[in-house]
Structure 1
């Protein structure tokens, strides 16, 4: 009964009918107010239900992308490797060859699946469920795709880099995995009678003991540093970006922009610490339509400052500088025509892009900045700052659509500027 009351309140919160729903999407200030009220009463999961329901009711082409993640997968993988290292040493002491071989080969398998493939082989008990809400605006025979996204869950403002202790501990993961693989192969050769000696057992004891101590240290460091980061970081909610993207979705649905060549996706990311964005970026880079030019535009902190800016990765750290210089040329021409609210174009480190760094498509962040020499206002969203940001984004989409129409436009030259700041 409590769950029924929860959903009744969720779906009737300020939205008794379709006309009121569309009117709320149009009024970005009211949208911000309703999302904030919803957050106070319910969880982020209900925010996802709310977003999906309003877009579905209004007739949008919307889908839910479910994914699972664990913030403590590294510590759990290290703990599993520690247990297997202890089993390995037990097998060496008791001269149990099959135990030694099984444990030695299990360690590199776990590390490979957890860290290289991202498959939760041992961290599945602590998996959390997340959802991305994706609103699609397809066109026939698209010559380009643009994905625009913002998180709907609480998130950390900045991507936190590895601490020196984490960096040092992680540096020995590959050598430890290779050490266990070599010990497993060595013991396999001994098992088949190729050679045997007491020196081999001594070496296995020393190497196994060193790996046991290492995995104990690694698990402790990763778990402890993760807790410290979560306690030190302050979570934020990006309701302004959500409101602007919802208004953009409504304008696209009404065909106000007249896009004919560009497939647009508006995405609301779920999951903690950018997990939804990382999942979406991975699937986007592996999609069958990857041959079509794809651009990602992340929206962050819209409505928290009067200055607007496009952030793009430093060229020397990018995988596709030519594509990004072409995108930068479009941003520059759009900025020149934006009137009094001219966005700045600033280079930043790629680690601020939460999963999109290193992908094979251009990506930028559209954001609001505090005044020069001033501090960011974290207390409230300014709805009057959302409309200018929306206009800039719409002009850029129109320019991108025109670029996609002209498939034979000349490529950017090497002398083209790669950054500009007003």
Structure 2
């Protein structure tokens, strides 16, 4: 029997999580009436439901997050852990990571608990040595592959499907892992042009591989992070579940890009209200280090370059913005000249680049009232890493939206594993699922 204080704690945790009764009911797979009864102390919550709610609460507020988990996941082509941050926020535990870039691995280690394997090239890891997991995450690079010649190969009796079409690509590695381990769900992220790449052939292979060859129920959506962050950043997210589901991005609350925050939310205030952070800001009022201001030579070059293309009717040029604006997409080439996002500093001063700390905020790695994301690498590497990363708040909201569907998958798995169940226990299990 659940103790009385545990019952009333349901409402306290729900309110702390800023979730409605309807949202909690959806997450736990219960009716709203049941949640109301738990909160009023009229009934005791199911132990598994209470564990799920407490784990979600603990993960959100970083309490006992090292021991509580609802599910396991692996983080492939991990970069600096943007997808991981989203999945950890809903109670996931990372048990395997792969990232080929050594500088990214340095940043990853500085920010996450890595008491599990942190591998380089995924191709060097035997598929059987990758631990079994509930969810697969991958911000996989897009390599071209063609569907040409399929009919001819079929006529010759040769194998097609992903084992032929995607051979030699990094997506093929993902498909093999999904086929071998059969995780309950996956989240894939890529640039929005994946859909139109190679006249749509690339995405056609990916879609058929995931749905027809591997049997997952899949949905995808291109989402602009501008509703969450002061940056126009469109990325495609592909979510799949092993069992039949009504999961659809159309039912997710996508934040309106027109009402998102402005750059004032991520820029250094330079008025002494934040602590100085060398080398990004100076001791005096935490003003931005002058090294981020463009030289006369570089600023002149960018202006001339923009003017030349404007005459030709092209849209190429720099992006000059201020605190009340939103930025273009931060790219991995930002370290070269910073031209896509230049911060206006007045008529008599050249504009400046964002600092790496501002880039961290722009991508959502830094969160209010939490320790800043650690940046142990050079500015050049930091710009590359943040420019290649995902928008963390977007991933967090996708993870939150996935949670009810994911928990249902895991409950089904749990009850299928029970070997000796009396008839009434089977009935109870079916009602719970």
> With structure 2 as the length reference, what TM-score do the two structures score?
0.26
The structure whose residues are more often strand, as a share, is 1
The normalised TM-score by structure 1 is 0.27
Which has the higher Rg, Structure 1 or Structure 2?
A: 1
Greater share of residues in helix: 1
Greater RCO, CA 8 A, separation 6+: 1
